[in-house]
Amino acid sequence: MDAIRKRLLEHQLKETLCVDEQIIPFTGRLGMKQYIRGKPCPWGIKLYVLCGKSGMPYDFIAYQGSSTEIEPSLINKLGFGASITLQLLKRVPQDSAGHQVYTDNFFTTYSLLEIFEKRKILAAGTIRINRFRNPPLSTDAVMRKKGRGCAEQVASRDGKVIVTKWFDNKGVYLASNFVGIGIKDKVERYEKKEKRYIEIDRPEVVQLYNNGMGGVDLLDQMLQHYRIFIKSKKWTPRVIIHFFDMAIVASWFEYKADADKNDIPKKDQMDLLAFRKGLANTLATISSTFQNENRRGRSSNTFSEDEQQAPKRLKYFNQPPTT
């Protein structure tokens, strides 16, 4: 884990980043095993991952209960979710204008948005409204009468944090330190009563959040396609194999980025399966070459003629009787 994390930290951060949870599939007995609803494999060992918009991982923290590697002072001051986010974004330099960070309601707090505003990091995310002292926004019943697509926003007294409520099938709360309703666009939604698709308004903060938040989910999707199967009830091999898979997918993302820089057409670039096959063939070739060069004992030409000309043992197969 340390070796892979060290390699991930060497990558330069992109402008659009997101922080989300990831699960290492495991259903055996383990004290730090977690359940996350909505994940492809909901039971397992939890990681907090910093990803780019493309799915490229940049850093991670493994959840270990009370011994999770986070500064205790941050937890006491900001809470667990916000502390995780700040820990993962430590490598972002102070006053680094241009970075955008998106988080879900587990991580987003008012204090976190204020800290990012001071560091000139643009941040937005879904929120749990009780963490924001219940700002004066309309209830779902009132907004339902106005129709799908309506939105309201409330700003803090200093204007640094904006809370937006958008009504789709139900109310969705988001908070940001740089954008609110902003410039609306149109999205399609299926209307059950009319049995057809309709267009509704979508606030700018929702548009930016949907566009920047899917990095960890994309990484999970790529990991799930060709995950290495290991039949073991021990959690340690599962963790090791998961990080092998993460290293392979991260290498493939890096290969795709290099191919785009060198103007290689998309049709000539290897997909993930071809990349994994090429990697496996390379590792097998290196392994066999290394074994041949370092093999000990007598070479094949030192055996006697009788030993070299000994007939091979015949293979027998169980077959049904012919009569």
Residues 12 and 210: beta-carbon distance below 8 Å = no
pLDDT tens-digit readout, 102-129: 999 999 999 999 999 988 899 999 999 8
Nearest C-alpha neighbor of 190 from the set 181, 178, 198:
198
pLDDT tier, 164 (very low <50, low <70, confident <90, very high otherwise): very high
DSSP state of 189: E
Cα(62)–Cα(83) distance, rounded to whole angstroms? 14
Please say whether the beta carbons of 180 and 199 come within 8 A: no
pLDDT digits (tens, 9 = 90+) for 263-297: 989 888 999 999 999 998 888 888 666 666 666 55
- Rounded to a whole number of angstroms, the distance between the first and last alpha carbons of the chain is 62
Question: What is the DSSP code (8-state) at residue 14?
Answer: P
Q: At what angle do helices 235-261 and 272-293 cross, to 10 degrees?
A: 110
**Which pLDDT band holds residue 303 (cuts at 50, 70, 90)?**
very low
303, containing H or E segment: none
Q: What is the pLDDT of residue 254?
A: 93
Q: How many CA within 13 A on the CB side of residue 259?
A: 15
Q: What is the mean pLDDT of residues 236-252?
A: 93
Between 56 and 300, where is the model more confident? 56
Q: How far apart are CA 80 and CA 78, in angstroms?
A: 7
Please list, in sequence order, all residues whose beta carbon lies within 8 angstroms of the beta carbon of residue 143, skipping any fewer than 6 positions away: 150, 152, 165, 167, 171
pLDDT at 232 over 90: no
Between 153 and 313, the higher pLDDT residue: 153
CA distances to 28, 38, 239, 240, 241 from 230, in Å: 13, 23, 11, 11, 8
Predicted local distance difference test score (pLDDT) of residue 321: 61
For the stretch 53-99, pLDDT in tens is 989 999 999 988 777 878 777 788 888 888 999 999 988 876 666 78
Please enumerate in sequence order all residues whose Cβ is within 8 A of that of 170, keeping only pairs 6 or more positions apart, or say none.
Answer: 140
d(CA 261, CA 309): 57
What count of Cα atoms within 13 Å lies in the side-chain half-sphere of residue 31? 4
Residues 6+ apart with CB under 8 A from 101: 17, 18, 19, 85, 89, 116, 121, 122, 123, 124
The structure tokens listed for 56 are 């490229």
Hey, what are 210's tokens?
């949907």
C-alpha of 293 from chain center? 41
**CB pairs under 8 A, 24+ apart, for 196-202?**
198/148, 200/147, 200/148, 200/149, 200/168, 201/149, 201/150, 201/151, 202/149, 202/166
Positive or negative, the Cα torsion across 103, 138, 132, 151? positive
As a dihedral over the C-alpha atoms of residue 60, residue 64, residue 67, residue 68, rounded to 10 degrees, the angle is 20
Given the structure tokens 């194999």, which residue do they identify? 241
